[in-house]
Amino acid sequence: MRWFIDLAYLGAPFHGWQVQPGVITVQSTIEDALAKILRSPTPVTGAGRTDAGVNARRMIAHVDLPDGFDPRTGTFIRSLNSICGPAIAIRSFRPVAPDAHARFDATERTYRYFAHTFKDPFAGPLSWQAPATLDFDAMNSAALTLLGRRDFTSFSKLHTDVRTNICDLRAARWIELETPGKWAFEITADRFLRNMVRAVVGTLVDVGRHKLSIDGLADILTAKDRCAAGTSMPGEPLFLWEIKYPY
């Protein structure tokens, strides 16, 4: 029977989500924990592939468990969390259709990148200390030029295995949080390319520093050249924030 797992994790201890030989990842940690409890290899498939250091406030993964086994009963979730360790929190299991797919069925994903404009010893590394002079109004104006169904090759890591670099970007804006000087860049799309959010943030920061114009950002998008865009920002302040499904 297929189940959706709702989980969260701190990205710092892991080399990203996806299983890779010789390193510890979120996916491999969860699969190892499941194998220990169920005494059988139990692969999981995530809704996305976050990079090293990137966090998830909410990740969805699907897993096939033996018929008749209900992971919501007894101490299963508590045992799974204990084995996974403190950086991963398994929140719940939800039964879904046999053909439900955590990655391919997702219709929308939202990321948040956190920043603060004052010295705060308690914010890092989960928030980036931005220059106090950063022009957030200019960055929001520039972000509007990215909206729509577009080719985001200029903001993608090179030599990836995806078939297309076209994404439908539905929202992109800097939001000032309840504490003055604390910000989050929230970006929503049907899909994201590898390193895309961090590259977009880095390029918008160039706009906020008045090193790049809004027209210049549009030219970068048209160029379809990763070398034309800004630097990739650190991964630790980035969170996979929400995932939506049609069911």
pLDDT tens digits for range 164-182 = 999 999 999 999 999 999 9
51 is catalytic: yes
3 forms beta bridges with 63, 95
Distance CA 45, CA 60 (A): 9
The predicted pLDDT at position 121 comes to 93
The predicted pLDDT at position 131 comes to 96
The predicted pLDDT at position 209 comes to 97
The residues of the chain scoring below 50 in pLDDT are none
The predicted pLDDT at position 163 comes to 85
Distance CA 31, CA 103 (A): 17
- 47 in Cβ contact with 59 (< 8 Å): yes
- 171 in Cβ contact with 180 (< 8 Å): no
Q: How far is CA 1 from CA 30, 47, 75, 94, 95, in A?
A: 18, 18, 19, 11, 8
Distance CA 47, CA 180 (A): 33
**Range list for CATH 3.30.70.580 in the chain:** 2-95
- 167 in Cβ contact with 150 (< 8 Å): yes
The predicted pLDDT at position 157 comes to 85
**Range list for CATH 3.30.70.660 in the chain:** 108-244
Q: Class assignment of domain 108-244?
A: alpha beta
Identify which of 208, 188, 195, 178 has the alpha carbon closest to the alpha carbon of residue 112.
Answer: 188
Neighbours of 209 (CB within 10 A): 16
Sign, CA torsion 103/56/115/112: positive
- Whether the pTM exceeds 0.85: the reply is yes
The predicted pLDDT at position 162 comes to 81
* Catalytic position from the list 6, 32, 51, 67: 51
- 25 in Cβ contact with 14 (< 8 Å): yes
The predicted pLDDT at position 86 comes to 98
The predicted pLDDT at position 102 comes to 98
CATH assignment of 2-95, given 3.30.360.10, 3.30.70.580, 3.40.1260.10, 1.10.287.110?
3.30.70.580
